[in-house]
């Protein structure tokens, strides 16, 4: 073998190793983002971003090179090195732009990454050392590069039996520990939306009188809740406020078996995660698992503003309360930075002042109030505690940026009811209004109609809509035009610089821009938002 040919091989392997490492980080990051749930992972590739992720693999070009290696084995190795060089250049650019995806390091991702890197090292050693590999050297490199996403996903899926066994042990330990705390009052909170905010409001209120434990950020799964019980539940805790999330039937039942709630709060039901549940009926049944798990002397609390909660309310056989009937908010005043309303409960009426943005938070506060009242707090104590509530991560917050923009930051996540509620809040602003958002995901066969409905509301409220993904842009624009916006007021744009150019005139004292869901961080930084 000539020295030139051998050096070319070494260069090719070096470039391939960088590309494979990038693929390993990227695909494990994506699996982690989708919580290792196959349904959510598959649903991602029904979106434009998912399809774009596949196209980024330069698959067609690599197929051409692969065919060339079969018929012209002496010429095409140079094409391989050139192609890999371009791909590595793209990787370096993404690192420079801070767009390189790296999973959060946990025990699971550490194991998955270790397995991936061990394979990479073994492959490099074998392909450089085995004489039988020389004939197919570049074929191996290109082929493995093309199937890297499948290979890495295979590592993740292959690890699942071990992960399931580990999860079962963690759940069993947490379930056993929970049984030892017979005096702690557990309040379970579930719903398609509003879980985290209701949990935070309730924990804040109850902490004025009780020693409260709450699940923290991203602790609404069986593992997260189990770790919360194992690591944080103490004898001094009087109340445990537990957020519960699920993506399929039986998911909430599993969580209730762990923590055994005595009070259940159902915050609302919509089509969020319809793609993984399969049907709205499955979503309703899954959320209702919390209510079905409550003891006969327990209490079910439901959101009366949600039609599906109202339907389920009549099916409940135990003690139950619902907002709008058992507790009411009247004389509501929505200001830019707070809510004012009177709460009527048990023949008592108290004025509430809550530093939250938008009338849509009222039902969350009312549900938290019903739970706190059940535990013995007076309405006056609850009202006083509500004054200390602050918007936390994942909730709308008003930001006056150093670029002189009024920005409503709602970038944590999005669901259909939340987007429409946020648009309703914008009405308190008297100037020009703009919304910047991607299309919503995991809405199944309801996605088109939901985006059309959101578009109609945008048309009623906003002067400009910038959509950053094109999945359901047509339907959203159709709804917005129907409500009165013009063609150039509803645009598809994903480049941060171009988005900034379109909103740079929205800097008046009463102008406002709302950022919904996962708007690119580079644009958030460009507009002056600091995370």
Residue 268: count other Cβ atoms within 10 Å of its Cβ.
Answer: 26
In terms of domains, do 270 and 313 share one? yes
447 CA to centre of own chain: 17
- Tens of pLDDT, residue by residue over 204-237, are 999 999 999 999 887 888 999 999 999 999 999 9
- Tens of pLDDT, residue by residue over 353-385, are 999 888 889 999 999 999 999 999 999 999 999
- Tens of pLDDT, residue by residue over 469-505, are 888 899 999 999 999 899 999 999 888 888 888 988 8
> Looking at the domain assignment, is residue 170 inside a domain?
no
Boundary-marking domain end, from 116, 134, 162: 162
> Looking at the domain assignment, is residue 167 inside a domain?
no
More confident residue, 42 or 267: 267
Tokens of 266: 């159902």
In terms of domains, do 243 and 382 share one? yes
What integer pLDDT is reported at residue 60 of this predicted model? 64
In terms of domains, do 230 and 346 share one? yes
DSSP 21-72: HHHHHHHHHHHHHTTT-HHHHHHHTTSHHHHHHHHTT-HHHHHHHHHHHHH-
In terms of domains, do 382 and 402 share one? no
What integer pLDDT is reported at residue 74 of this predicted model? 63
On average, the pLDDT of the chain sits at: 87
In terms of domains, do 444 and 508 share one? yes
What integer pLDDT is reported at residue 100 of this predicted model? 84
In angstroms, the CA 228 to CA 213 distance is 9
Percent of all residues in the chain with a pLDDT value above 90, rounded to a whole number: 48
What integer pLDDT is reported at residue 23 of this predicted model? 92
In terms of domains, do 44 and 152 share one? yes
What integer pLDDT is reported at residue 444 of this predicted model? 79
Query: Are 227 and 219 a contacting pair, CB within 8 Å?
Result: yes
In angstroms, how far is the first alpha carbon of the chain from the final one? 55
> Looking at the domain assignment, is residue 417 inside a domain?
yes
Pick the range with the lowest mean pLDDT from 274-288, 347-361, 461-475.
274-288
495 CA to centre of own chain: 22
Q: What is the dihedral of CA 470, 476, 480, 481, to 10 degrees?
A: 70
> Looking at the domain assignment, is residue 288 inside a domain?
yes
Contacts (Cβ under 8 Å, ≥6 apart) of 232: 213
What integer pLDDT is reported at residue 276 of this predicted model? 66
In terms of domains, do 129 and 244 share one? no
In angstroms, the CA 202 to CA 358 distance is 18
Boundary-marking domain end, from 337, 365, 386: 386
Q: How far is CA 128 from CA 83, 125, 139, 262, 438, in A?
A: 20, 5, 13, 63, 46
Q: pLDDT-based confidence at 68, cuts 50/70/90?
A: low
In this predicted structure, the answer to whether residue 417 has a pLDDT above a threshold of 80 is yes
In this predicted structure, the answer to whether residue 133 has a pLDDT above a threshold of 60 is no
In terms of domains, do 329 and 449 share one? no
> Looking at the domain assignment, is residue 173 inside a domain?
no
- The two beta strands, 512-516 and 406-410, are parallel
Q: pLDDT-based confidence at 56, cuts 50/70/90?
A: low
In angstroms, the CA 375 to CA 19 distance is 57
What integer pLDDT is reported at residue 313 of this predicted model? 92
Q: pLDDT-based confidence at 525, cuts 50/70/90?
A: confident
What integer pLDDT is reported at residue 75 of this predicted model? 63
More confident residue, 139 or 530: 139
> Can you give the residue range of the structural domain that contains 482?
397-527
- Tens of pLDDT, residue by residue over 303-352, are 999 999 998 998 899 999 999 899 999 999 988 888 999 999 988 999 99
CATH of the domain at 283: 3.40.1190.10
Closest of 463, 460, 458 to residue 437, by C-alpha? 458
Tokens of 316: 């409940």
How much is the pTM?
Answer: 0.79
What integer pLDDT is reported at residue 24 of this predicted model? 95
> Domain total for the chain?
3
More confident residue, 241 or 128: 241
CATH of the domain at 427: 3.90.190.20
Q: Where are the beta strands (DSSP E) in 392-454?
A: 397-400, 406-410, 433-437
Residue 38 region, left (φ>0) first, then alpha (ψ -120 to 50), else beta? alpha
In terms of domains, do 293 and 418 share one? no
In terms of domains, do 143 and 221 share one? no
Residue 434: count other Cβ atoms within 10 Å of its Cβ.
Answer: 24
Contacts (Cβ under 8 Å, ≥6 apart) of 473: 439, 451, 467, 492
In this predicted structure, the answer to whether residue 436 has a pLDDT above a threshold of 70 is yes
In terms of domains, do 187 and 232 share one? yes
Q: Average pLDDT for residues 403-424, to the nearest whole number?
A: 84
Tell me which DSSP letter residue 438 carries: P
Q: Average pLDDT for residues 377-403, to the nearest whole number?
A: 84
């Amino acid at each position: 073998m000539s020295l030139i040919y051998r050096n070319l091989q070494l260069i090719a392997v070096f470039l391939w190793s960088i590309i494979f490492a990038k693929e390993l980080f990227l695909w494990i990051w994506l699996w982690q983002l989708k919580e290792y749930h196959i349904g959510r992972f598959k649903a991602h590739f029904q979106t434009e971003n998912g399809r774009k992720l596949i196209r980024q693999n330069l698959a067609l070009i690599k197929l051409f090179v692969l065919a060339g290696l079969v018929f012209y084995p002496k010429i095409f190795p140079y094409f391989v090195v050139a192609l890999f060089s371009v791909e590595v250049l793209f990787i370096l650019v993404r690192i420079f732009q801070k767009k390189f995806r790296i999973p959060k390091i946990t025990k699971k991702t550490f194991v998955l990454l270790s397995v991936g890197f061990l394979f990479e090292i073994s492959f490099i050693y074998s392909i450089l050392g085995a004489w039988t590999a020389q004939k197919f050297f570049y074929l191996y490199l290109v082929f493995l590069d093309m199937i890297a996403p499948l290979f890495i996903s295979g590592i993740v899926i292959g690890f699942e039996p071990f992960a399931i066994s580990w999860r079962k042990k963690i759940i069993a330990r947490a379930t056993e520990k929970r049984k030892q705390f017979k005096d702690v009052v557990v309040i379970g909170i579930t719903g398609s939306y509003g879980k985290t905010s209701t949990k935070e409001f309730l924990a804040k209120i109850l902490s004025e009188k009780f020693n409260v434990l709450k699940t923290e950020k991203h602790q609404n799964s069986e593992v997260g809740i189990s770790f919360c019980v194992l690591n944080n539940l103490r004898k001094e805790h009087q109340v445990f406020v537990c957020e519960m999330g699920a993506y399929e039937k039986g998911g909430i039942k599993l969580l209730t078996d762990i923590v055994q709630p005595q009070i259940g709060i159902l915050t609302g039901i919509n089509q969020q995660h319809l793609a993984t549940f399969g049907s709205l009926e499955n979503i309703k049944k899954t959320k209702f698992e919390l209510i079905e798990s409550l003891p006969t002397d327990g209490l079910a609390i439901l959101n009366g503003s949600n039609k599906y909660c109202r339907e389920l309310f009549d099916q409940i056989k135990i003690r139950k309360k619902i907002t709008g009937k058992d507790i009411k908010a009247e004389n509501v005043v929505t200001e830019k930075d707070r809510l004012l309303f009177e709460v009527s409960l048990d023949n008592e009426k108290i004025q509430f002042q809550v530093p939250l943005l938008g009338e849509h938070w009222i039902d969350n506060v009312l549900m938290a109030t019903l739970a706190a009242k059940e535990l013995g707090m007076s309405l006056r104590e609850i009202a006083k505690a509500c004054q200390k509530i602050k918007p936390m991560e994942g909730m709308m917050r008003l930001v006056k940026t150093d670029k002189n923009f009024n920005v409503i930051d709602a970038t944590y996540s999005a669901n259909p009811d939340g987007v429409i509620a946020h648009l309703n809040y914008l009405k308190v602003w008297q100037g020009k209004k703009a919304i910047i958002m991607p299309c919503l995901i995991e809405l199944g066969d309801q996605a088109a109609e939901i985006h059309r409905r959101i578009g109609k509301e945008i048309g009623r409220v906003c002067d400009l809509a910038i959509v950053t993904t094109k999945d359901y842009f047509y339907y959203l624009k159709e709804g917005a035009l129907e409500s009165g916006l013009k063609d150039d007021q509803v645009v598809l744009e994903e480049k941060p610089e171009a988005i900034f150019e379109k909103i740079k005139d929205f800097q008046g004292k009463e102008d406002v821009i709302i950022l919904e869901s996962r708007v690119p961080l580079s644009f958030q930084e460009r507009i002056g938002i600091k995370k």
